[in-house]
Amino acid sequence: MNQAKKQKIIKYALSLPNTFEDYPFPEDPISVVIKHKENKKWFVLIMEVNGKLYLNIKTDPNYSELLRKAYDYIIPAYHMNKEHWNTILMDFEVDNQLVEELIEQSYELTRGKRYKTRRN
């Protein structure tokens, strides 16, 4: 697994506001989840599958299939809802700008609704 790529993904995801890194699987110290501080929803899951680096991100269902058809390294999500999540196979030569954009989209899709403050 490419440790440098993994650290780059973590660093980028943590650069987004109000996020934190979590290792929710006690039996798996390699997999890392990046979550929102406010709602605890995850928007990035990084894991090792058969020695390969996998990045799961949430995508708009209307966009998910287009991504899979356009990029060989984007597949239906490994062990997650395949309509709403995609896996990016990070051991391929990937478009880093696209990966960052997809992380941002996943971040936005999982933020939850903002509550308006009441006015008296």
Tell me which residue of 2, 46, 56, 51 sits closest to 25, measured CA to CA.
Answer: 46
| Residues paired with 33 in a beta bridge | 22, 45
In this structure, what token pair is assigned to residue 34? 């990046």
Cα(33)–Cα(87) distance, integer angstroms: 14
* Domains within the chain, CATH numbers bracketed: 3-104 (3.90.1150.30)
- Statement: residue 4 has pLDDT above 50: yes
Mean pLDDT, rounded, for 9-28 = 96
Cα(56)–Cα(44) distance, integer angstroms: 6
- Strand bridging mode 32-36 / 85-89: unpaired
The b/e string for 7-25 (b: 16+ C-beta within 10 A; e otherwise) is eebeebbeebeebeeeeee
pLDDT, one tens digit per residue, over 64-112 is 999 999 999 999 999 888 889 999 999 999 999 999 999 999 999 999 8
pLDDT, one tens digit per residue, over 87-97 is 999 999 999 99
